[in-house]
Structure 1
Amino acid sequence: MNLDAAVAAAAAIAGVCTGVIAMLAFRWSERDQARPTRSSLHTDAVLPPGVDTVLSVLRSSAVVLDEADAVVKASSAAYALGLVRGGKLAVEPMLQMARDTRRDGEIRQVELDLPRRGTGRGDALAVSARVAPLGSRLVLLLVEDLTEARRIEAVRRDFVANVSHELKTPVGALSLLSEAVMDASDDPEAVTRFAGRMQIEATRLTNLVQELIDLSRVQYDDPLEDSEPVRVDELVAEAVDRCRQSAASKQITMATGGTAELHVWGNRGQLAAALGNLVENAVNYSPARTRVGIAARRVAAPGGDLIEIAVTDQGIGISEKDRERVFERFYRVDPARSRATGGTGLGLSIVKHVAASHGGEVTVWSAEGQGSTFTLRLPEAGAARDRERPSPGDTGDTRDTADEPAGETFADGHLPLPGVRP
């Protein structure tokens, strides 16, 4: 009987202890729920139902703040933009907007320019920030990156400004010249002189319209629909013929070289326009009595051999900041010089689109005062290469001189030409 009593007493004591422990655990849990810890602020449990799903599909960067300005939820894009660091919103103007919205419940929106962090670039990151209340405790911040949109808008403004100017100049000149012809109808010599000027302005206007058409075509047409093996020699010869008169007027020597019997696969018209634009640019931006060289060669590449066509000049060169933008439509390194040479700012943009649509690329090496080398790289036409590969003893070299070391290249890896050095 004493043993049974002892067991009963022990069980009662154990029950009391268990109850006390359970009550303490429940009290501790209630206190934790009433006072959220730092870790609980970063869980999705405090978000209203469905909000996390909505935030995950938004294109904008999203940040949810609680009443203590701690980050409850932030998208990966928000971290990528540098908006959130160390669990806090790192942009003070946005943080102040969130506090004001939490106080009065008003939705706020502002555009800001934020410094780029860790890139070493001086330009700013343009963003649009919108703050709205999310329930009674939280504030939602949505941030949209406007940098690319602003860049496109700047390009559009440049487009309108340049086209307006380029159209206005020849159209205005034609109008004035036509009046001059009418006034000088009794002077045959003056009529002939004015008619010649009218032809020049009409040609300038035609070239601008044609380049606009060419740019539109290469952007939207598929070159593979009308593709064929195209001989690089013929493309080079056509580009040289296109610029022969303008080069002769400046006493510029046109030198061709490299490997013969190369073929690329693509649209002949687009490829001829692209290479012609490169050669024309080289002539237009070269001083008188210099040389422009065009060389082609085969380059081994992991995905198949490439044909590399390099156009080298001894011109004014391009600064480092301009090299990043020379392939943008209507961008000009020197607008005044471009107007003097009749350039529209579309040529290199056309080259870029043609190269990309043919599975290739165009790059530039340049130094101010030392000239430039534009290199067009395109996939080789494999069938044509196998059918017309030169014999082992035939180098196919058509350079003007034979006194250059074999295998010599420029510093940028391009073929040398006689008398043409970047």
Structure 2
Amino acid sequence: LRQSEQLEEIIDDLLALSRIEREANDAQIDLEQIPLKSILEEAADRCRPKAEESDVAIVIDCPENLELEVNPTLLEQAVVNLLHNGITYSEAGQEVVLTAGMLETVGTPKVRISVEDNGIGIAKEHLPRLFERFYRSDRARSRKEGGTGLGLAIVKHIVQAHGGSVEVESTVGKGSTFHIILDS
């Protein structure tokens, strides 16, 4: 039964990834101006059952007045995927912190959405391939924790469809921070 559920998850993720790529290539993603905090709160609400089950707190820090022109459904999914990973790789009693704010840059103003955990971290040699489909930095742990190996690839494609970028900083044993950077 578990294997059929996992296969169903993989198929769902592949279909989602295919749809995102197709819409991005056809420049078809529907954008709307929306308060970013509402998207982050929806994403956190979707992840709360898993967080509570794992005894991990989700903390949100986002200005009320920060708005972005995005596809709210897609951006919410990207944040859900990052939160899900943060929760999965954190120990009980820890926090996953979701922050958003303006990024100090030259030129076009940018917004940075960050998901920070104090989990197991990711070794430097794995960082360049982290956003590839089916790539797993720790195969044994990944199998035990579940997932399809497509979550970060989906994040990357959603962010790229919005003209943005995704970055990661990580230290083994200390945790990881994923950043989504979008034009404001």
TM-score by length of 1: 0.41
Distance 2:150 2:29 in 1: 24
Please list, as runs of the form range in 1=range in 2, the aligned pairs for 1:60-79 lying within 5 A after superposition. Answer: none
Aligned to 1:263: 67
- Please give the secondary structure, in 2, of the residue aligned with 1:221: helix
Q: Write out per-residue CA displacement over residues 64-105 of structure 1, whole angstroms, 9 at most, x where no aligned residue.
A: xxxxxxxxxxxxxxxxxxxxxxxxxxxxxxxxxxxxxxxxxx
The alignment status of 1:346 with 2:150, answered yes or no, reads yes
Structure with max Cα Rg: 1
The alignment status of 1:246 with 2:50, answered yes or no, reads yes
From 110, 117, 124, give the equivalent of 1:313.
117
Distance 2:137 2:34 in 1: 32
The alignment status of 1:209 with 2:11, answered yes or no, reads yes
Please list, as runs of the form range in 1=range in 2, the aligned pairs for 1:137-148 lying within 5 A after superposition. Answer: none
In structure 2, the CA distance between the partners of 1:212 and 1:256, relative to structure 1 (3 Å rule), is same
**Is the Cα–Cα contact under 8 Å of residues 37 and 62 in structure 2 kept in the other structure?**
no
**Is the Cα–Cα contact under 8 Å of residues 224 and 267 in structure 1 kept in the other structure?**
no
Deviation at 1:224, TM superposition (A): 5.1
Structure 2 gaps, min length 5: none
Deviation at 1:301, TM superposition (A): 2.9
Distance 2:67 2:8 in 1: 31
- The one-letter code matched in structure 1 to 2:13 is E
- The one-letter code matched in structure 2 to 1:219 is E
- The one-letter code matched in structure 2 to 1:259 is P
Deviation at 1:259, TM superposition (A): 2.4
In structure 2, the CA distance between the partners of 1:210 and 1:231, relative to structure 1 (3 Å rule), is farther
The alignment status of 1:170 with 2:3, answered yes or no, reads yes
Deviation at 1:230, TM superposition (A): 2.8
Aligned to 1:234: 38
Distance 2:173 2:43 in 1: 25
Taking only aligned residues, the RMSD between alpha carbons, in angstroms, comes to 1.7
Q: Write out per-residue CA displacement over residues 110-146 of structure 1, whole angstroms, 9 at most, x where no aligned residue.
A: xxxxxxxxxxxxxxxxxxxxxxxxxxxxxxxxxxxxx
Q: Write out per-residue CA displacement over residues 284-308 of structure 1, whole angstroms, 9 at most, x where no aligned residue.
A: 1111111110011012433321111
Distance 2:117 2:179 in 1: 12
- Please give the secondary structure, in 2, of the residue aligned with 1:338: helix
The alignment status of 1:334 with 2:138, answered yes or no, reads yes
Distance 2:64 2:142 in 1: 34
Q: Write out per-residue CA displacement over residues 324-355 of structure 1, whole angstroms, 9 at most, x where no aligned residue.
A: 11111100011222122221110101111111
- The one-letter code matched in structure 2 to 1:309 is I
- Please give the secondary structure, in 2, of the residue aligned with 1:332: coil
- The one-letter code matched in structure 2 to 1:258 is C
Q: Write out per-residue CA displacement over residues 374-404 of structure 1, whole angstroms, 9 at most, x where no aligned residue.
A: 0011111xxxxxxxxxxxxxxxxxxxxxxxx
The alignment status of 1:219 with 2:21, answered yes or no, reads yes
Distance 1:313 1:362 in 2: 16
**Is the Cα–Cα contact under 8 Å of residues 318 and 372 in structure 1 kept in the other structure?**
yes
**Is the Cα–Cα contact under 8 Å of residues 115 and 177 in structure 2 kept in the other structure?**
yes
Q: Write out per-residue CA displacement over residues 228-258 of structure 1, whole angstroms, 9 at most, x where no aligned residue.
A: 1132111111111111111111111111113
Deviation at 1:369, TM superposition (A): 0.2
The alignment status of 1:281 with 2:60, answered yes or no, reads no
**Is the Cα–Cα contact under 8 Å of residues 224 and 266 in structure 1 kept in the other structure?**
no
More deviation, 263-272/240-249: 263-272
- Please give the secondary structure, in 2, of the residue aligned with 1:226: coil
TM-score by length of 2: 0.92
Task: Work out the number of aligned pairs and report it.
Answer: 182
Deviation at 1:217, TM superposition (A): 1.2
Larger RCO, structure (CA 8 Å, separation 6 or more): 2
From 96, 99, 103, give the equivalent of 1:299.
103
Identity of aligned residues (%): 38
Distance 1:254 1:346 in 2: 22
- Please give the secondary structure, in 1, of the residue aligned with 2:180: strand
Aligned to 1:356: 160
Distance 2:121 2:77 in 1: 22
